[in-house]
Homo-oligomer: A and B are copies of this chain.
């Protein structure tokens, strides 16, 4: 595993960004390494390439597995495990977003839910309660939307993103043609 300087820089960058993306430096570097490598790598390869301890590699592999970002490949007649990125860039990104949603949104949503539930009888300042409700509703909206998006076919999702806010225009137009849509204010500009 010899790395060109440029590749090395990129991998170091992914390491630095790692913590901002929800994992640690090692996990970030290893993800980059596996994404950029055109063949599966063994744990020893990885440790050598990145000059990190074998134990650290093992931990990071576990983490990457738990995020479903890598998978293991075994050659018959070779006891070693080989690891590779678990899909296309698009799929990996989806996976990262999915996992981050789980860690960054879901806990708060469930906390809010139970809090709003429990304080039905009320022991909380009006304004605070209202704000909690708004956060709750926003996160729930986001969650449903996100779920929906994840189930769209990649090419549709991509097309949709390319359309950007253009989608607003299209919907306005369509709205006039299809009175079936619920009359939630889809409004105008």
Contacts and interface: CB of A to CB of B under 8 A. Distances in A.
Contact of A36 (B132, B148, B151): B132
Size class of the contact patch on chain A? 35 or more
Interface in A134-175: 134-135, 138, 141-142, 144-145, 147-149, 151-156, 158-168, 170-171, 173-174
A66 interface: no
A78 interface: no
A165 B151 contact: yes
Count of this chain's copies in the oligomeric assembly: 2
Nearest to A157: B168
A150 to B, nearest CB: 9
A152 B138 contact: no
A131 B90 CA distance: 11
Contacts of A171: 156, 159-160, 163, 167, 170
Interface stretch (A44-52, A57-65, A68-76, A122-130): A122-130
